[in-house]
Amino acid sequence: MHEAFYWLNEPSVWSGDAKALELRTDAETDFWRETFYGFIRDNGHAFIRPVSGDFTVAAIVTGDYQALYDQAGLYLRADERHWIKAGIEYTDGMMHFSVVVTNGVSDWSVIPLPDATPTDEIAVRLTRHGDAVRVQLSVSGAAWQMARLCPFQADDAEIGVMACSPQREGFHANFRDLAVGPPIPRDLHAE
């Protein structure tokens, strides 16, 4: 599974590669489809590569979260109407672990991280088994915690990291150790 990464909506300012990637977001970037807000945005920054079948992808994410909806994490995309983003999002004055699953329209779930700070390293992991995707997080080296189990029908897709700043420009995000490989075991209750 050694494929080259490339940009969907390349940011104006970035450097690095899958081992260590740094970027600053352009103005008013996001991935969202219709639900509640009534708009469609498909201009977030995503550093992605092709993937097929079952896999696990993981990365360590940090960011200078300050403005409402600043976000950085993993991104799985079949097309503009079918995708998943999972990572840290700043809302209600604190960092949350956020998952958006989009199947024509977007949904949004959050787990508050009241003790997290922007310097904390948050590891994010997605695993695909057939038509299901498991989303997990680990804060500062703690055990993996499941955040979401959701459907994802597409066999061929693109996977990588994303960052968005719907309310501003210049959100600084860092990604480390982005790796795509074989799926972890199916046992939901094992690390």
pLDDT band at residue 45 under the 50/70/90 scheme: very high
Q: What is the pLDDT of residues 90-144, one digit of tens each?
A: 999 999 999 999 999 999 999 999 999 988 999 999 999 999 999 999 999 999 9
3-state secondary structure the chain: CCCCCEEECCCCEEEECCCEEEEECCCCECEEECCCCCCEEECCEEEEEEEECCEEEEEEEEECCCCCCCEEEEEEEEECCEEEEEEEEEECCEEEEEEEEEECEEEEEEEECCCCCCCCCEEEEEEEECCEEEEEEEECCCCCEEEEEEECCCCEEEEEEEEEECCCCCCEEEEEEEEEECCCCCCCCCC
Domain boundaries, the chain: 6-113+121-181
pTM, to two decimals: 0.96
Q: What is the pLDDT of residues 112-125, one digit of tens each?
A: 999 999 889 999 99
CATH (residue range 6-113+121-181): 2.60.120.200
pLDDT at 1: 44
